Structure formats: C-alpha cells, structure tokens
Amino acid sequence: MQLKQCGIEKKDDQLVLAILSKLGPDYSVFVSTFYATKLTARTWKMPSLADFMESLTQEQDKLVMMGTIKPSKDQALVAGDSRVDSKRKKKAKKPPEQKRQEQVSGGATRFQEEHTEE
C-alpha cells in the first residue's frame, strides 16, 4: 500500500473505519448496517480489508443499478456500459420502489450474514 511507502502504518481495522467515516449519504444504509451488525451480533468480527472492499464494491454496483449514483468513468471503462444497461433492462419489469426495497434489504441481510459467525 502507498501508505507504507510514506512510513505510515495502518491496520486493516483502522482503514475500514476510516473508509466508513468518509462515505457519503448514499451509503448510509451500508454504514448503518455495518455498525448495527457490529453492535448486535454476538460473534461479530471485523472483516478483512479485502472482504470489506468487496462488500463496498457490491454496494456501489447496487447503487449504480438503482440510479442512486452514477458510475465513475473508471468503472464504466472497466465494466463497459453494457453491463449496467443489461442489468437495468432485466430489472426494469419491477416497480422502482419495490426493486429499491428488495435491493436495500437484501444488501443489509447479505452484509450481516457475511460478517457474523454462527
């Protein structure tokens, strides 16, 4: 990581919490779910930075599909606009509010399942 090259050592836990603190209001459900899971799950453990980034990337993809945020130019180049367009066409059959509720609740449940041990 570039921080190490500058002589700054940060643990994964610190990086995850720093990222959470910088996320904007579009990510409020994601951030709330993270902290709620942390507080309520008996066997909760801090995710690795890689796992956290994967969850955050999935959340970003979901927000792009819902039209809440626009894809970045880099994301559009990597994914190709056809990926986003094809997903929108497939999901266009559901009413927007129903689709939003399913995606929001599904993301929260998936995050809780991924970060608790049974």
Write the DSSP string, 9-63. ---HHHHHHHHHHH--GGGHHHHHHHHHHHHH-TTB-PPPHHHHHHHHHHHHHHH
In this predicted model, what pLDDT tens digit does every residue of 75-97 receive, in sequence order? Answer: 555 555 544 455 555 555 555 55
**Per-residue pLDDT reduced to its tens digit, 27-73:** 999 999 999 998 998 898 999 999 999 999 999 999 999 988 888 76
**Domain spans, the chain:** 2-114
What is the value of pTM for the model shown? 0.57
Tell me the average pLDDT of the chain: 75
